[in-house]
């Protein structure tokens, strides 16, 4: 939510713009974001094992949970 609030009204014309807007995100509680552009090429169609997907802690949001979600850290 804070990232999209930060770039509200800004045209996303380049990867640099997106990375800079994400990297400028902060919250009152002290969260800050570091963003880097990954320019590597990845082989399409890579499969992730079912147990790996099952172990991800993905919490969908109430509004468009298929697009908006939080990936929570793994438990220690």
- 4 pLDDT exceeds 80? no
- 76 pLDDT exceeds 90? no
Strand partners, 3: none
Kindly report, residue by residue over 19-62, the tens digit of the pLDDT. 888 888 888 888 888 888 999 998 999 898 999 888 888 999 99
Q: Where are the domains of the chain?
A: 1-38
For the entire predicted model, the pTM comes to 0.47
Q: What radius of gyration do the chain's Cα atoms show? A: 15
- The pLDDT value recorded for residue 53 is 85
Q: How many residues does the chain have?
A: 76
Q: How confident is the model at residue 75 (pLDDT cuts 50, 70, 90)?
A: confident
- The pLDDT value recorded for residue 60 is 92
Q: Give the C-alpha distances (Å, rounded to integers) separating 51 from 3, 13, 55, 56, 58.
A: 30, 38, 6, 9, 14
């Amino acid at each position: 939510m804070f990232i999209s609030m930060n770039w509200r009204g800004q045209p996303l014309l380049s990867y640099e713009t997106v990375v800079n807007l994400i990297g400028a995100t902060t919250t009152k509680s002290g969260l800050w974001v570091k963003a880097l552009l990954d320019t590597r090429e990845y082989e399409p169609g890579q499969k992730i094992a079912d147990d790996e997907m099952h172990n991800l802690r993905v919490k969908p949001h109430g509004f468009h949970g298929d697009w908006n979600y939080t990936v929570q850290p793994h438990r220690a």
